[in-house]
Structure 1
Amino acid sequence: MKLLVLLIILSIFSIFFNNKVIGAVSPDEPLITSEAAILIDGNTGRVLYEKNSDKKMQPASLTKIATAIYAIENGNLEDIVTVSHNARDVEGTRVYLEEGEKITLKRLIEGLLVNSGNDAGIAIAEHLDGSVEDFVISLNRYLKDLGLQNTNFVNPHGLYHPEHLTTARDLALITQYAMKNNEFREIFGTKELSWNGESWDTTIYTHHKLMREQPYEGITGGKTGYIDESGITLVTAATRGDLSLIAVTLNAPTEDIAYHDTVDLLDYGFNNFTVESISQGQLFEINNEEYINNDILTYTISNNENIHKLITKGGVLELKNDSQDVIAQFQLEKNITWNDNVEILKESKDNAINDQRINKNLMFFVMLIFILILLRILFIKNHKKVDSID
């Protein structure tokens, strides 16, 4: 009986404790169920929220974001691709390509992103690099060059392989990079597309529900993914006004949870962050040197965040909050004043005068050498004449 009472007391205490913890969280901060997640500012890359963002996990079809931007930047979109038997027989989601079918690279990228065609992914890989094996070598090198340090892909589509791994942070970064490309951004935001293939004449629709079935205000693109080992994975991009957001969720147990987490992340970003700017032409001084920004500088801050501006030696402008976290960094240019211009002109003139002096001295030295040689020749000739007279 005493044991039962003790268990009841512990249960009540546990419930009370958990409620206190949840209640202590800011009401605006999202409570994410997905195993990993991240929310970044799509323009600056600032991280606005993260959970297990550097944990290596299976991305499933989110892989296709990397495949697509690699293909756009390294291929000719008008190239005609011949579909192989290998592409035709791939398992999973397809756009039902036929062996020997001829199709443009751009159309394959559309089938890859809009309908998540694994067969399109294989056809793209073989066309660009000759084989899937060579493609993934090139793709991984490409991603490393873009700054993705925790990603290793072994195929172009995301079907399960134990070494096919990435992180929420890396997926956010590659999506941010890809969204700067007009071609990618257009395809990534496509909701439906007529598809006229040899064996499939239909209309394909994006699988991302926030783009079609449950529209979210400001949505600009998205990609879904699922295999048993990855759970539900989502990448979502949205823009309202000047603020652009990219949300990534990995390994949600259900679709509803994945979309609920994504909406919570986007709502959190739009409700709590704004874009500020520093107008063009502002001057900053350090150690009696002036620096200037020749462009409008934008950065993202939370609604209750105070920003402090610090100019470092070398002209790097750092924006920090009260916690001394670096919000953004900008390289400024040294301000060339009128006096600086005068000094530069004077220095150039002095250099020119010095160059003239050097050239004159060199010419004099050459002429002197020439005269000495000439005198030597004449001396030798005269000496020979004297010898012949004797």
Structure 2
Amino acid sequence: MKRKITSLFTIATTLIMLTPLSSAAEPDVNLESESGIVIDANTGKVLNETNSKKRMYPASITKIMTAIVAIEKGDLNETVTVSEKARDVIGTRVYLEEGEKVPLKKLIQGTMINSGNDAAIAIAEHVAGSTDQFANLMNTFAEEKIGVTDSHFVNPHGLFDKSHYTTAYDMAKITQYAMNNQVFRDIVSTKKLNWKGKSWETTLYNHNRLLWRYKGANGVKNGWIDQSGHTLVTSAKRGDTELLAVVLKAKGKESSYQDTMNLLDFGFEHYQSQTIPKGKNYRYEDKHFTLTEPFSFTYQKDAPLTKEVTASGWLRISSEGSLINQTKLNDTSQTTSAEQPQAVKHEEKEEQQDNPALGSFLTWFIGLFQ
């Protein structure tokens, strides 16, 4: 009898693990690009992806990394002296002259809006002393500051090198980090900029045409070289929801735009995010808790949400029995607050399962042997 119970319990547990929490099937996003991803910019939740962990050549979206490193490690008001190496680089430029003196912030603008390879080299040499040392700084920054581990940069501009690679997932995380910097955000959302240099005076127009063509688009960078095909990173915000899409090795520029719009459309159609501001108070029986940092979560549209507070002070957000996100609250039971704590549904035991169907199943299962 004991062996029979054990076997049945094993089968039952397996069935529970294999049973989906939601019967709603998410449609696929068909991409022409070899790799692509769309994430929620607030939470980092992956909403849809295709080959997002495959190593690819990034081309000029490399400059997203260049820009955020320069902004955080450099002084935007410092004057940069342009070198011969910067002047002579191939590819897209802002036509800097050797010896020309340019503010660091203006070089970042030229790098991100007009994809200036010469500006990228001038930035790297100024911030780190050389392009090689700057590449080392990029790699250290990416791994230690942002937490991505499947990218390797050898230059600040993205011209081809077989050792210079990234993934769609890594670029999404890098951009998510960068977009939290207001200077970066302002630069990559700039549609046009009057440019007055020593040898070139013009109006720069952002190379990412989705800034004009897609509702809510507010960044960030595109690129192209033969080996990478067309690459594109785009952010867009509608209401409280902001998404980031990355496509790598698209067949053409228009294909990269269409794939990006398909990913963003999918995200906005099926998901939304919500942020609870810090300072919100909760209670569990006679215990009081406070949210010390803004807490964001992403969920499927129209899905019912459940907020639960545990005895030890965890705030958990669930939908239809599936845990979406959770955060630890600060115990303020010994202090008073002007704001009345919010009473929410709470768990009687912290170890209670997130799937409500589990309790009913176990009750039925145990009843078989009573």
Within the candidate set 324, 328, 334, 2:325 is matched to: 328
State the partner residue of 1:253.
Answer: 251
State the partner residue of 1:60.
Answer: 59
Aligned length: 311
Unaligned runs of 5+ in 1: 1-24, 340-390
Per-residue deviation at 1:315?
3.4
Q: Residues 322 and 27 from structure 1, CA distance in 2 versus in 1: closer, same or farther, beyond 3 angstroms?
A: closer
Q: Residues 243 and 52 from structure 1, CA distance in 2 versus in 1: closer, same or farther, beyond 3 angstroms?
A: same
Q: Residues 265 and 203 from structure 1, CA distance in 2 versus in 1: closer, same or farther, beyond 3 angstroms?
A: same
Q: Does 1:269 align with 2:270?
A: no
| Rounded Cα–Cα distance in structure 2 between residues aligned with 1:312 and 1:231 | 50
User: What code does the residue aligned with 2:109 have?
Assistant: E
Contact 2:287 2:333 survives alignment (8 Å): no
Q: Does 1:337 align with 2:334?
A: yes
State the partner residue of 2:94.
Answer: 95
Q: Residues 208 and 26 from structure 1, CA distance in 2 versus in 1: closer, same or farther, beyond 3 angstroms?
A: farther
User: What code does the residue aligned with 2:185 have?
Assistant: R
State the partner residue of 1:204.
Answer: 204
Contact 2:150 2:167 survives alignment (8 Å): yes
User: What code does the residue aligned with 1:319 have?
Assistant: I
State the partner residue of 1:365.
Answer: none
User: What code does the residue aligned with 2:234 have?
Assistant: T
Per-residue deviation at 1:219?
1.0
- Counterpart mapping for 1:189-338 below 5 A: 189-212=189-212, 215-278=213-276, 281-285=280-284, 290-294=288-292, 297-309=295-307, 315-322=313-320, 324=322, 326-337=323-334
- Counterpart mapping for 1:1-390 below 5 A: 29-145=28-144, 146-212=146-212, 215-278=213-276, 281-285=280-284, 290-294=288-292, 297-309=295-307, 315-322=313-320, 324=322, 326-337=323-334
Contact 1:46 1:327 survives alignment (8 Å): no
What SS does structure 1 have at the residue aligned with 2:148? coil
| Rounded Cα–Cα distance in structure 2 between residues aligned with 1:312 and 1:119 | 56
Point out the more displaced range, 294-303 or 87-96. Answer: 294-303
Q: For 1:233-260, what per-residue CA distance to the aligned partner results, in whole angstroms no more than 9, with x for missing partners?
A: 1000111111111111111111121111
User: What code does the residue aligned with 1:327 have?
Assistant: I
The structure with the larger Rg is 1
Per-residue deviation at 1:305?
3.5
User: What code does the residue aligned with 1:130 have?
Assistant: G
User: What code does the residue aligned with 1:98 have?
Assistant: E
| Rounded Cα–Cα distance in structure 2 between residues aligned with 1:110 and 1:143 | 21
Unaligned runs of 5+ in 2: 1-23, 337-370
Contact 1:309 1:318 survives alignment (8 Å): yes
TM-score by length of 1: 0.74
Per-residue deviation at 1:35?
1.0
User: What code does the residue aligned with 1:189 have?
Assistant: S
Contact 2:54 2:167 survives alignment (8 Å): yes
Per-residue deviation at 1:136?
0.8
Give 1 or 2: higher helix fraction.
1
User: What code does the residue aligned with 1:237 have?
Assistant: S
Contact 2:113 2:205 survives alignment (8 Å): yes
Per-residue deviation at 1:338?
6.0
Q: Residues 296 and 186 from structure 1, CA distance in 2 versus in 1: closer, same or farther, beyond 3 angstroms?
A: closer
Contact 1:93 1:118 survives alignment (8 Å): yes
What SS does structure 2 have at the residue aligned with 1:222? strand
- Displaced runs of 4+ in structure 1, greater than 6 A? none
| Rounded Cα–Cα distance in structure 1 between residues aligned with 2:37 and 2:311 | 33
What SS does structure 1 have at the residue aligned with 2:274? strand
Per-residue deviation at 1:182?
1.2
What SS does structure 2 have at the residue aligned with 1:238? strand
User: What code does the residue aligned with 1:151 have?
Assistant: S
What SS does structure 2 have at the residue aligned with 1:319? strand
RMSD value over aligned CA atoms? 2.3
| Rounded Cα–Cα distance in structure 2 between residues aligned with 1:301 and 1:48 | 10
Q: For 1:286-326, what per-residue CA distance to the aligned partner results, in whole angstroms no more than 9, with x for missing partners?
A: 9x8653325663322112544454556853434344474x5
